[in-house]
Structure 1
Amino acid sequence: MSKIKLYQNDEFDLLRQIQDPLADQLVSQLIKNPDLITQINSWIEIPAEIEKSYPREFKDFFEFYLNQTDIPEEILVKGQKIFDQKGDLYLAMLGFYSLPYAYAFGDGAEVLVRSKRILSDIGRRLGETSSFIMDIFEPGAFITKKKALLTCAKVRLIHSFSRYFIEHYAKDWSTSFGKPINQEDLIGTNLSFSLIVIRGWKKMGFNVKSEDVDTIMRYWKWVGKMMGIEEVYWPENSKEAFQLEKHIRNRHLKRSDAGHQLIQALISYYKATIPDALISTQVEPILNFFLGKEASKVLGIKSSLPVSGELLGLVFKFSGWKTYGAQKGYSNFARQFISNQLALYGERLEIKLPELKRS
């Protein structure tokens, strides 16, 4: 059965009321037992066996990862090879297309803007998002290197912490937004990290093989499962992916003060920190090009300067060449990534759960 039949308003209205019970149950325990948060943050990977002394919610959550037997190794290896070849372009699309695209969806942006770190410490937040991508695309990730499972588990719990604090402390949260970080929002975010990246490459005139599109979408189906996303709605082919993105866009693309704050913070950060003047002086025109007229209007991005996709593709390729020369590959992406973080923050940014004050 085509999944397009599932992409109906009544189905997705229900998804806005569904969150992630497995993670939410654990966070309720972590709030009561902050020492467990420190324990998780100290792990390099999920232990092969969860001790019986841990709360049931703790065991249930992490045993979900330990009990995975259907790891799609062939797809994971293929996806990691694509990133090995195009990792710099993948990360570029996250910054210039995926994140701004997410900001244009008004209800989802309401969650993001309530994380003050996104506005006040945007560099670290972007760095942590990039760390997530580097972890899940590391050669051997999920197969021989299990750190990626812990990274997904942590991000999933961070989402749950955000839900907890919004539901308990955000007095300005409206039920019209849906429940915070609900299943529809999670599916949309997964699309922004997969389909939207592919769309960005195509906009710049890059040849993207149909098998590579299939690989990336199936890769993110697996990642989505590790992030607590309902698999039944994830597209199985490019036609379904197109319809799913269109359906969510038609439902939620709208102007919001939250989206405006987020995009302005991102623009200011890029102008101040991107070393390549070919890019930093043209932030608005580049964003306008990728997002298109409708989303750009929603976010208040104005640009009278037309951008050539092929020329922009050359600019991004040249920027990558200046950084990596002819030697790209995951190891060089990772080396440069860590070097940049050490220079900016004096440390390598890792995904960590929020440490709570002990009472």
Structure 2
Amino acid sequence: MVRDASSATGDNSKVREWDDEFLDSMRQVGDPFADAVAARVLDEGQVEAVRHLLQQLLDHDDVHRAELPDHVREYLDQTAALPDWADPERMRRGEIVFERWGVAISVALFCASLPSAYACAKGVSVLAQTARLETDTRRRIMETGQFLIDVLGPGGMAPGGKGIMAIQRVRLMHAAIRHLILAHGWDSAELGLPINQEDLAGTLLSFSYTLVEPLPRLGMTLADDEVEDFLYVWRVVGEMMGVDARVVATDIAESTELVNLIRRRQFAESADGIAMTDALVGLLQEMTPTHILDSVVPDLIRMLSGDEVAELIGLPPRARHFGLLTLLKVLVRFTTHEVENDRILQRLSDHVGWWILNGLFDIERQGEHRTAFDIPDVLANHWKLHVEPA
């Protein structure tokens, strides 16, 4: 059982311990508040009106509230504010961590966090069901990157901010997906509810702990207080996303414990995980400027997520990048051949990070119906991204 049911308010004076029995029970729990809203929308035939709402929230346009059902307006009202316990000053410190390390964190998202999520065989099955076509998978991957930027960008969690709108949209979307999948023969006894509380906890950790945990492998060292402030932002997001406080880690130690437990419970090879990884690798390779770098992408994933994850998601063995040394010298003007392989990948990761973020802009322009990808100017300038007007 879980010991101490303290909330995610940052009160970590008591030590919490999770075990299999407790997390098994959490696999049968969804998000009752959002689930009730989604069920009414779907059961009362209001799908088109709410689909229009979700698109507006995605595009960050003004929502025509008068056109929405009453219960959806109530949902938006009740989910628009930060929790009473949230400390805006501390959240701002968490945003500053992203401003400073955002390029590396973006690399960690695509090359460590998402691959680790794909290695969780039960959790990835829902992702695969909602993204069966490659184009849909790619769209989901891009939306994940956009969600990170919306939440952590300047003003994202301010009243009416992009982060709050993104949270509202994703929470309602999760509830709708849960409702629809359950209606189509989902095996809840074996897999738990779709997007259940254990999987929500794992998703929250994917945006928090597993984004900063790989950074030392890229040669970047964050102070403990920086990491704690970054995690704090996502504790606030967790409550707003409907994650049960009992499965929200409150500090580095708890995050480490919960990540390790979920991985022990869920890490396994699966066809869905391999398929999602193939789509991710293909998208990242499309973002890099030349096919000579194609082999760097799976190697970065292996370096940042570890050999265990790499094997579970079907990545090839690590390549020997002797041929990339000349390219590296052009990129970063090295003057010596005495460079270890990992150091090469660390330097290349900076460039891959820039290519990923710039590549997202290019890819979304390739079709009218692709998700618009938006980075605030202040972040684009700070990260030295070269984004041309659409």
SS at match of 1:139: coil
Partner of residue 220, structure 2: 206
1:233 counterpart = 2:244: no
CA change 1:261–1:4 in 2 (3 A) is farther
Deviation by residue 1:190-228 (Cα, 9 ceiling, x = unmatched): 111111111121222211111111011111101111111
Instruction: Please give the alpha-carbon distance, in whole angstroms, between the structure 1 residues aligned to 2:99 and 2:61.
Output: 23
What is the one-letter code of the residue matched to 2:29?
Answer: I
User: Runs of 4+ in structure 1 displaced over 6 angstroms?
Assistant: none
Q: Provide, for residues 85-134 of structure 1, a one-character-per-residue CA deviation record: whole Å limited to 9, x for no partner.
A: 22222211111111111000000011111113563433322221122112
2:335 corresponds to:
none
Aligned residue runs from structure 1 range 1-359, under 5 A: 5-31=16-42, 32=44, 33-37=46-50, 38-39=52-53, 41-42=55-56, 44=60, 54-56=69-71, 58-60=73-75, 62-66=77-81, 68-116=83-131, 119-169=134-184, 171=185, 173=187, 175-275=189-289, 277=291, 279-305=293-319, 308-319=341-352, 336=358, 339-346=361-368, 349=371
Cα distance per residue 1:1-54 (max 9 Å; x no partner): 66654311111111101110111111112212235412454454787x977x94
Whole-Å separation in 2 of the counterparts to 1:245 and 1:150: 27
Change (3 A) 1:279 1:72: farther
Whole-angstrom distance in 2 between the partners of 1:122 and 1:281: 21
CA distance in structure 1 between the partners assigned to 2:364 and 2:223 by the alignment: 36
Residue-pair matches, total: 338
Unaligned runs of 5+ in 2: 5-11, 322-340, 374-390
User: TM-score by structure 2 length?
Assistant: 0.77
Whole-Å separation in 1 of the counterparts to 2:104 and 2:116: 17
User: For residue 77 of structure 2, what is the amino acid of its counterpart?
Assistant: F
* Contact 2:212–2:227, Cα closer than 8 Å, also in 1: yes
- Structure 2: which amino acid aligns with 1:165? L
Q: Which moved more, 1:93-102 or 1:312-321?
A: 312-321
The one-letter amino acid of 1:34's match is V
Deviations 1:214-258 (CA, angstroms, capped at 9, x unpaired): 011111101111111112332222121111111111111111121
Give the residue type in structure 1 aligned to 2:98. F
Measure the CA separation in 2 of the matches of 1:66 and 1:292. Answer: 38
Q: Distance in 2 between matches of 1:192 and 1:255?
A: 19
Q: Distance in 2 between matches of 1:293 and 1:111?
A: 24
**Contact 1:45–1:149 (8 Å) recurs in 2:** no
What per-residue deviation string (whole Å, max 9, x for no partner) do you get for residues 259-300 of structure 1?
122112222333344225564222222222222222222222
Which AA in structure 2 matches 1:344? Q
Does the CA-based 8 Å contact 2:274-2:313 persist in structure 1?
yes
Q: Distance in 2 between matches of 1:219 and 1:39?
A: 26
| CA distance in structure 2 between the partners assigned to 1:67 and 1:78 by the alignment | 16
Q: Provide the rounded CA distance (Å) in 2 between the counterparts of 1:132 and 1:349.
A: 12
Could you say what the CA RMSD is over the residues aligned between the two structures, in angstroms?
A: 3.0
Which stretch shifts more, 104-113 or 133-142? 133-142
Shift of 1:143: 2.2
Cα distance between partner residues in 1 of 2:365 and 2:55: 23
- The question of whether the paired residues in 2 share the 8 Å contact of 1:45 and 1:150 is answered with no
- How many angstroms does 1:66 deviate by? 4.0
Q: Identify unmatched segments of 5+ residues in structure 1.
A: 325-332, 352-359
CA spacing shift, 1:276–1:317, aligned 2, 3 Å = farther
Structure 1: how far apart are the matches of 2:158 and 2:285?
39
1:342 positional shift: 4.8
Superposition deviation, residue 320 in structure 1: 5.1
Contact in 2 for aligned 1:23/1:61 (Cα 8 Å): no
**Greater shift after overlay, 100-109 or 146-155?**
146-155
* Cα pair distance change 1:299/1:314, threshold 3 Å: same
CA distance in 2, matches of 1:142, 1:293: 36
17 and 174 in structure 1: CA distance in 2 versus 1, 3 angstrom threshold? closer
Distance 2:352 2:124 in 1: 30
Structure 1 residues 91 and 249: CA distance shift in structure 2, 3 A: same
